[in-house]
Amino acid sequence: MKIAQAGTIESNDALVIVSPSDKLIVEIDSIVFDKFGDAINQVIVDTLKEHQITCKVVVKDKGAYDYTIKARLITALRRAQNE
Amino acid sequence: MSSYLFVPGNNPGMVQSAHVFDAKGVIFDLEDAVSVQDKDSAKDLLKAYLETAAFDNVYIRVNDIYDLGKNEIEEFNNFDISGYVIPKANTKVMSLVEKYTNKSLIPIIETPEAVLTMKEIGEFDNVTGMLLGGEDLATNIDVVRTLDDIELLYARHKLVMVCAYLGIDSIDTPFTDTDNDESLEESVKYSKMIGMSARSSIHPNQIPIINEIYKPTLEEIEFATKVVEAAKINDSGVFSVDGKMVDLPVIIRAKNILKKAKAYEKN
Amino acid sequence: MKRINSYNELFNLLNVEDDLTVSFHHHLRNGDYVLNKTMLELDKLNIKNLTLAASGIFNAHEPIVPLIEKGTISSIYTNYLNGPVAKVVSEGKLKDKLIMQTHGGRPRSIEEGELVIDIAFIAVSAVDKSGNGNGTDGSTVLGALGYSISDVEKAKQVVLITDTVVDELSYVEIDGKYVDYVLVLDEIGDQFLIQSGTTSITRNPVSLKIARDTVSVIEETGYLKNGLSFQTGAGGTSLAVAKYLKKKMIKNNIKGSFASGGITGYLVDMLEEGLFDELYDVQCFDLDAVRSLKKNKNHHLMSASEYANPLTSPIVDKLDIMILGATEIDVNFNVNVTTASDGYIIGGSGGHSDTAAGSKLAIVVTNLVKARTPIIVDEVLTKTTPGKDIDILVTEYGIAINPLRGDLLNKLEDSELKIKTIEELRSIASNLVGKEKRLKKSNDVIGYVEYRDGNIIDKIYKV
């Protein structure tokens, strides 16, 4: 695994950056952190579990819905492993 | 409704509000509106979206079938979508696509070859409509697009005839000048006049204009209602309504207008 | 009336001391130098516990933040509060109380003697030799001065502040008989920033869809008719409603009676094209409005009191259609335009609750969700405008009619528009955004929302 990213910092989107790590690390920077910080964290943790991957995830969120964050993470993970 | 809206597949803001504009069909685009390096993320975004949202008349425009298109079709077959919009269609492409999916297909007529073999393309089993790709077609015959689409005259009229013959939707090309509502109106009136069953669009702001023009007018509905009522009483074949001679084709048209009008009530 | 050239001289003449109430208008918007300069000069005199009664407070007023923190300013009355001042007030730095009034409630309270102003500092673009003033002659153009009129008429002492003295004004809006002093400064504001609050009409597809559906609902409820009167807020979607209304009025050959409120070039065009007979202007949002005000006899000045004071018979009571925005709207149609969902103050009623109460058809237009934040909520954080005064909510996902307006529901029974209950819209929003953690209000009250009649209808809590 290497560093990879997906998404953008446009409105309703999220930029997700993944990098190798032995421990699960999730860093969230969100314009709706107070209200949805927990929800965003949950999506990240669940998606990583589904893919059985442990790594570091940095999220810059501009009000993306859960499915968008999930999609961006999936893309970033695939890019980290493929390319 | 008689409008199809193209929505860039990698833009979450546009994907999430795609269905609020009352387009008849939404076409999520993996092809021209998505950059090469984001083909994968557009696919992931649409999959994640489709897992949470269920709407009628959702299509995906895949990439070239000889390139990414094949895999895209196979990956989206498990999702609840109506079908695929197929770029650079010809009979060979369609015979391949037919093997990959049972979902409904809308081939894009955007090459001279496709214009000439339109009927054969439309005859493939799951084809429910054909869409004219005016930009690419113009490029392929080496002309510039004009506001009144004179250069597409033959292709447009042929598409109407072939689709009417096959009983499938004829979907006119997008109008790409998104800041020119007046010319859009003229162009859509022309589409309706020559018999196109729908107009496609690349901008949500165009959808209400298209829907409004395609919606039967009050005058049309009133006349059609009179014709249908009068036909119930007169079974003699030819009679007149408001001074106009009415025979069977007029009655059929009147019934069609009332059917369309009904489709516009409550959506 | 005496003309002077410096604050020192002015303050020697005025009796300035602790605990005074000083007032300002907000016609200079984000280009305002007058409020800042005056307050900083007062601060130099080591005065304490001033009450600041300003009709609006903006980003431009950041320089007075330290005065709040150290108690020079201890109370604020205003109709609209945002920017750095809003931030420190939200965080509880104001010593005494914040009263959020409305554009109609403010002149009512001044004229009733509830809010007593000791000194009104009134920026004008020009004065003449007799101390008359207006907002359009001179080099710094403000437009109509509607929000200052009650202050001028009722304050114990009135100071006009200007950068231009002329022999003769093209018209008089502020009568010199009320004026005690004229202070002439080098400059009173930044012309560019005075105008820059204006919004051009949006191209955002969701906003435009909402605007179009709003005009459809106006038509289907029978309010699109000859003689209609109309007002809109300055938000992007609200302005777009004017655009589609204009199209529809032309198409259906409808001629309106008047448009009112803050005036933009867009409404001026409609006046000039004969779509309205008259404009009633409490403030000009752009220079087109100023130009029209000076030359068109059907473009009238109005004071905030004539506009919205519930004890007179204000223009808002004659309004048919009012288009409003919302930061939040709850399932009982209560609207919040005072605080953001994080609890910080970001605005205030302005004319929101006045026009909602007065107009026959008050329509709130808003996206259902903005950047994952649902606009429809179970209960608004702060009640700016009571739900009973809101008739219709238009969102991109559907239109909700206040159940109190059964007449409207009847008219829309066979509509092609997506009519839904507000609870249905609320649940669509909840499904879209997912599980949301609502802000828990603190227990510290830092301010009050005063309805136009003077009743307190809600409290604002410290962040």
Q: Give the DSSP H/E element, type plus range, for residue B165.
A: helix B153-166
Q: If you ran DSSP here, which 8-state letter would residue C118 be given?
A: S
Average pLDDT over residues C174-186: 97
Report the residue of chain A nearest B44, measured CA to CA.
A71
Amino acid type, A1: M
pLDDT score at C197: 58
pLDDT score at B267: 45
What is the residue range of A72's domain?
4-82
Contact status of C342 with chain A (Cβ, < 8 Å): yes
CA distances from C427 to C150, C335, C397, C435 (A): 45, 18, 11, 12
Alpha-helix runs per DSSP H in C232-315? 236-251, 265-272, 287-295, 304-308
Average pLDDT over residues C366-380: 95
Inter-chain contacts counted by CB atoms under 8 A, chains A and C = 39
Q: Which residue has the tokens 């007030």?
A: C89
Report the residue of chain A nearest B11, measured CA to CA.
A13
Residue C267 pLDDT greater than 90, yes or no = yes
* Beta-carbon separation of C209 and B21 below 8 A: yes
Report the residue of chain B nearest C205, measured CA to CA.
B205
List phi, psi (to 5°) of B197.
-80, -15
User: Chain C partners of A34 at a C-beta cutoff of 8 Å?
Assistant: 342, 437, 439
Closest listed residue to residue C339, CA positions, set C331, C330, C349? C349
CB B99 within 8 A of CB B73: no
* Beta-carbon separation of B13 and A10 below 8 A: yes
Contact status of C439 with chain A (Cβ, < 8 Å): yes
pLDDT tens figures, B96-136: 999 999 999 999 999 999 999 999 999 999 999 999 999 99
Closest listed residue to residue C84, CA positions, set C446, C279, C346, C461? C346
d(CA C97, CA C112): 20
pLDDT score at C54: 98
CATH number for C205-439 (one of 3.40.1080.10, 3.40.50.2000, 1.10.580.10, 3.40.50.720): it is 3.40.1080.10
Q: What is the CATH number of domain B3-214?
A: 3.20.20.60
Contact status of B217 with chain C (Cβ, < 8 Å): no
pLDDT tens figures, B176-187: 998 899 999 999
pLDDT tens figures, B157-182: 999 999 999 999 999 999 999 889 99
Average pLDDT over residues C336-353: 96
Contact status of C416 with chain B (Cβ, < 8 Å): yes
Report the residue of chain A nearest B39, measured CA to CA.
A75
Provide the percentage of residues in chain A whose pLDDT is more than 70. 99
pLDDT tens figures, A2-18: 999 999 999 999 999 99
Inter-chain contacts counted by CB atoms under 8 A, chains A and B = 46
Closest listed residue to residue B45, CA positions, set B3, B76, B86? B76
User: Chain A partners of C434 at a C-beta cutoff of 8 Å?
Assistant: 36, 39, 65-66
Alpha-helix runs per DSSP H in chain B? 12-17, 39-52, 70-76, 91-100, 112-116, 118-122, 134-140, 153-166, 181-194, 207-214, 218-233, 248-264
pLDDT tens figures, A33-63: 999 999 999 999 999 999 999 999 999 999 9
pLDDT score at C11: 95
Residue C19 pLDDT greater than 60, yes or no = yes
SS3 category, C414: coil
d(CA C204, CA A33): 26
User: Chain B partners of C203 at a C-beta cutoff of 8 Å?
Assistant: 205
* Beta-carbon separation of A35 and C434 below 8 A: no
Chain C neighbours (≥3 Cβ pairs under 8 A) are A, B
Tokens, residue C187: 């400059």
d(CA B9, CA C450): 48
Tokens, residue B68: 């990414």
Size of chain A in residues: 83
User: Chain A partners of C431 at a C-beta cutoff of 8 Å?
Assistant: none
Residue C230 pLDDT greater than 60, yes or no = yes
Closest listed residue to residue B156, CA positions, set B136, B132, B140, B137? B132
User: Chain B partners of C412 at a C-beta cutoff of 8 Å?
Assistant: none
Tell me if domain C2-195 and domain C205-439 are identical in fold.
yes
Angle at which helix B248-264 crosses helix B218-233, to 10 degrees, equals: 130
* Beta-carbon separation of B17 and C203 below 8 A: no
Contact status of C378 with chain A (Cβ, < 8 Å): no
Residue A19 pLDDT greater than 50, yes or no = yes
Query: What are the domain boundaries of chain C?
Result: 2-195, 205-439
Question: In total, how many domains does chain A have?
Answer: 1
CA distances from C63 to B236, B247, C33, C68, C104 (A): 88, 81, 10, 10, 28
Average pLDDT over residues C219-229: 97
User: Chain A partners of B51 at a C-beta cutoff of 8 Å?
Assistant: 67
- The overall average pLDDT reported for chain C is 95
CB C365 within 8 A of CB C238: yes
Which positions in chain A have a beta carbon within 8 angstroms of at least one beta carbon in chain C? 11-12, 31-32, 34-39, 62-66
Tokens, residue B34: 């998505």
Out of A7, A10, A67, closest to residue B49 by CB: A67
Q: Give the DSSP H/E element, type plus range, for residue C212.
A: helix C205-220
* Beta-carbon separation of A75 and B12 below 8 A: no
- The overall average pLDDT reported for chain A is 96
CATH code for the domain of A57: 3.30.230.10
Convert C231-241 to b/e letters by CB count within 10 Å (16 or more is b): bbbebbbbbbb
Average pLDDT over residues C180-205: 86
Tokens, residue C41: 């000069």
Neighbouring-strand partners of residue C159: C121, C181
pLDDT tens figures, C162-171: 999 999 999 9
Question: Residues of CATH 3.20.20.60 domain(s) within chain B?
Answer: 3-214
d(CA B10, CA B51): 16
pLDDT tens figures, C399-435: 999 999 999 999 999 998 999 999 999 999 999 999 8
Out of A34, A39, A62, closest to residue C371 by CB: A62
- The overall average pLDDT reported for chain B is 93
pLDDT tens figures, B52-86: 988 889 999 999 999 999 999 999 999 999 999 99
* Beta-carbon separation of A64 and C438 below 8 A: no
User: Chain C partners of B208 at a C-beta cutoff of 8 Å?
Assistant: 209, 212
pLDDT score at C198: 54
- Assign A83 a pLDDT band (cuts: 50, 70, 90): low
* Beta-carbon separation of A72 and B47 below 8 A: no
Amino acid type, C73: I
pLDDT tens figures, C291-320: 999 999 999 999 999 999 999 999 999 999
C2-195, superfamily in CATH? Glutaconate Coenzyme A-transferase (3.40.1080.10)
CA distances from B3 to B192, B194, B196, B199, B210 (A): 11, 16, 11, 5, 6
Chain A neighbours (≥3 Cβ pairs under 8 A) are B, C
Q: Give the DSSP H/E element, type plus range, for residue A57.
A: strand A55-61
User: Chain B partners of C435 at a C-beta cutoff of 8 Å?
Assistant: none
CB atoms near residue C114 (< 10 Å): 12
CB atoms near residue C331 (< 10 Å): 18
pLDDT score at B266: 47
pLDDT tens figures, C73-84: 999 999 999 999
